[in-house]
Amino acid sequence: MPKPSPVFNTASDQPLALSGRWRVDIPKALWPEFEAYIWQHHRGFLLLTNIIAALAFFSYVLADALLIPDMAQASLLLRSVLLLVAMLDIWLVFGRRRRNILLLDQLMPLHDLIATVAWFELLKRSHSPDVPTFLYASLIFIVFANLGVRVSFKGALASSLAISLVIIGNVALMNPHDSKPLLVFSLVYLPVLLFCLFMSWNTTSSVRLAFYASQEEARRKNELSSLNRRLQMLASTDALTQVGNRRAFDLQLEQLWLQMSQHGRPFALLLVDIDFFKPYNDHYGHLAGDHVLAEVASAMVNSLRSGQARAFRYGGEEFAILLQSGRQDELRRIGQRLLQQVAALQVEHHHRPDGPPHLTISVGAALSSLPGLRDATDLLACCDRMLYRAKQQGRNQLQLATDDMVAGRD
């Protein structure tokens, strides 16, 4: 039976973990699966964004050279060191074995925070008249901090607040005697911050919803394949006796014959028929007859080693057994055991015209490797003749086909 989904209410198909419109929670129990989902679907994206952001940060060395030329050398040095550190971190965090999803998600905001501090240090030391204008480039830091976030909105919020504190704090420090530049900067900065946070929230919620949808899809696939397995089982099983049905027998016989032709692996077939079943039905009733059919089938199945042979209901009160063995002595042993097992059931049958007062079977059997057999139908016909012979010669016995019998059949 497939496990019921822990997160979905199947009646409404809504994730139970959705607590209102604003939050999509991942319960603790689902976190490992969520991590695996992020690793599989977003690792590549997070890795690339980190690399691109690190390179973008380095490329600002050109802007520094133009706008704060007195800091050009320091900028080249600082940005080179930070680029190397970032690449090393990326390599460490994204290494195949270390699957720390939150660190993966927050690596860029962390680098971003350090880069913000470093860049403001350059600005504060520069005497360039372009510094007040260049200040506005710091908006890029809040954009980068939220651009790659996939897992935790709380993380994005915390890092955004820290970066904002650094930016606003530094702008205030750089204009200690005039509040207007800070006011103008804040008026430009705050809408960008809010928009970036909205983007982070939207992305993290969408990723969580996509995770729940993938869970649900996997659950439905499981359910469907177990239903399919059950249907297949039903389609190949005889309802009364629970052994394989005629359709399954025909398929397996053809398959075994094909295997023998391709790989030279011989097998054997036994046809089993209950003796004097008509008088049994007539005297004990059809229901008792049904019961006996099931009993005989189960006795035969119990006498066969699983994997070595499979029993089928061939039709009416006739059964077929396909044996994965090409040895005559084994075939004889198994045929005899079937006779004994059914006789041992001691099913009372006082209305048969011959000897024993209990139910018996007759068996006709043959190896697929007998010379003269051209196909599976020949093998079946050969077993049928052996069964007929067993009936003719007094029933309750096994008749095995031998080479000379098949050769002289026509």
Ligand X SMILES: Nc1nc2c(ncn2[C@@H]2O[C@H](COP(=O)(O)OP(=O)(O)OP(=O)(O)O)[C@@H](O)[C@H]2O)c(=O)[nH]1
Amino acid identity of residue 404, one-letter, is D
* Distance between start and end Cα atoms, the chain: 53
- Least spacing, CB of residue 237 vs ligand X, in Å: 15
Residue type at 136 in one-letter notation: Y
- In the complex with ligand X, the residue whose CB is nearer, 310 or 352, is 352
**Cβ closer to ligand X: 327 or 351?**
351
Taking the C-alpha atoms of residue 290 and residue 274, their distance in angstroms, rounded to an integer, is 12
From the CB of 281, what's the least distance to ligand X, in Å? 5
Determine if 153 is a binding residue for ligand X (CB under 6 A). Answer: no
Stretch that binds ligand X, among 55-63, 141-149, 243-251, 276-284 (CB under 6 A): 276-284
In the region spanning residues 280 to 339, those forming contacts with ligand X, defined by CB under 6 A, are 281, 286, 289-290, 293, 316-317
Nearer to ligand X, 112 or 273 (CB): 273
Which CB sits closer to ligand X, 32 or 285?
285
Binding residue for ligand X (CB under 6 A) from 7, 193, 273, 321? 273
Nearer to ligand X, 201 or 388 (CB): 388
Part of the chain binding ligand X (CB under 6 A), chosen from 15-23, 204-212, 213-221, 267-275 = 267-275
* DSSP symbol at 245: -
Smallest separation (angstroms) from ligand X to the CB of 352: 8
Q: Which is nearer to ligand X, 98 or 283 (CB)?
A: 283
Residue nearer to ligand X on the CB measure, 129 or 285:
285
DSSP 190-214: HHHHHHHHHHHHHHHHHHHHHHHHH
How many residues in total does the chain contain? 410
Q: Are 269 and 321 in contact (CB under 8 A)?
A: yes
Q: With contact defined as beta carbons under 8 Å apart, do 347 and 292 qualify?
A: yes
From 174-182, 200-208, 270-278, 400-408, give the range in contact with ligand X by CB under 6 A. Answer: 270-278
- Minimum distance, C-beta of residue 407 to ligand X, in the bound complex (Å): 27
How near is the Cβ of 235 to ligand X at its closest, in Å?
A: 19
Q: Which residues of 102-118 are buried (b: 16+ CB within 10 A; e: fewer)?
A: ebbbbbbbbbbbebbeb
Q: How far apart are CB 355 and ligand X at their closest, in Å?
A: 13
The C-alpha atoms of residue 333 and residue 222 are separated, in whole angstroms, by 43
Binding to ligand X, residues 220-239 (CB under 6 A): none
Residue nearer to ligand X on the CB measure, 223 or 384: 384
Q: How many CB atoms lie within 10 A of CB 384?
A: 17
Out of 276, 312, 314, 319, the only residue in the binding site for ligand X (CB under 6 A) is 276
Dist CA 195 CA 116 (whole Å) = 19
Q: Which residues contact 292 (CB under 8 A, 6 or more apart)?
A: 274, 280, 284, 347, 359
Instruction: Based on the shown chain and the rule CB under 6 A, indicate whether residue 274 belongs to the binding site for ligand X.
Output: yes
Closest CB to ligand X among residues 15, 364: 364
Sign of CA dihedral 338, 388, 310, 332: positive
The Cα 374–Cα 48 span in angstroms is: 64
DSSP per-residue letters across 28-52: GGGHHHHHHHHHHHHHHHHHHHHHH
Instruction: Please identify which residue in 278, 283, 332, 409 interacts with ligand X, judged by CB under 6 A.
Output: 278
Closer residue to ligand X (CB): 120 or 277: 277
Q: Closest CB to ligand X belongs to which residue?
A: 289
The number of residues that bind ligand X (CB under 6 A) is 15
Q: Are 339 and 303 in contact (CB under 8 A)?
A: no
Determine if 277 is a binding residue for ligand X (CB under 6 A).
yes
Question: Taking contact as CB under 6 A, which single stretch among the options 195-203, 227-235, 275-283, 343-351 is the one that binds ligand X?
Answer: 275-283
Whether residue 358 contacts residue 347, with contact meaning beta carbons closer than 8 Å, is answered with: yes
8-state DSSP, 272: E
Alpha-carbon distance 324 to 265, whole Å?
9
Q: List residues binding ligand X (CB under 6 A).
A: 273-278, 281, 286, 289-290, 293, 316-317, 391, 395
